Amino acid sequence: MSIRNRAGEWEPLLLGIEPEHCGVCGEGLYRDHTILRGGWSRCSLCEHFVHYSCLASGKISYLKRRPRVCQSCDSLPPTSASDKTVSSVPSESK
């Protein structure tokens, strides 16, 4: 796809494609490499794209845990639930 410049020259309108990199191993997430090896998914905690093999395992070793969590987020110590939850109901003051 292109557009003609005022002087009659053609300028390409294609954008450069930047490959995504795995948030755990740092390797590229190329479709031709990963489609036959399980693909990739997004971590539900850090929102990074990771290889399917870099996701944390579930109760059965070949199945992955739901919601999808990468191995680096899985190794972090759990934080208290009160830090993450924000009440959407305003507190009443008397």
In-domain check, residue 92: no
Q: Judge whether 91 lies within some domain.
A: no
Residue 48 lies in a domain: yes
- Residue 82 within any structural domain of the chain: no
**What pLDDT was estimated at residue 84?**
54
Residue 4 lies inside a defined structural domain of this protein: no
Could you tell me the residue range of the domain that residue 25 belongs to? Answer: 20-75
Q: Which of 77, 56, 78 is CA-nearest to residue 68? A: 56
- The domain total for the chain is 1
**Full-prediction pTM beyond 0.85?**
no
**Confidence (pLDDT) at 69:** 93
Determine the length of the chain: 94
CATH code of residue 33: 3.30.40
| Structure token pair of residue 64 | 């992955």
Question: Residues 37-78: pLDDT tens digits?
Answer: 678 889 999 998 898 888 999 888 888 889 999 999 998 887
Give per-residue pLDDT as tens, 1-44.
455 556 666 666 666 677 788 889 988 887 666 556 678 889 99
Residue 89 included in any domain = no
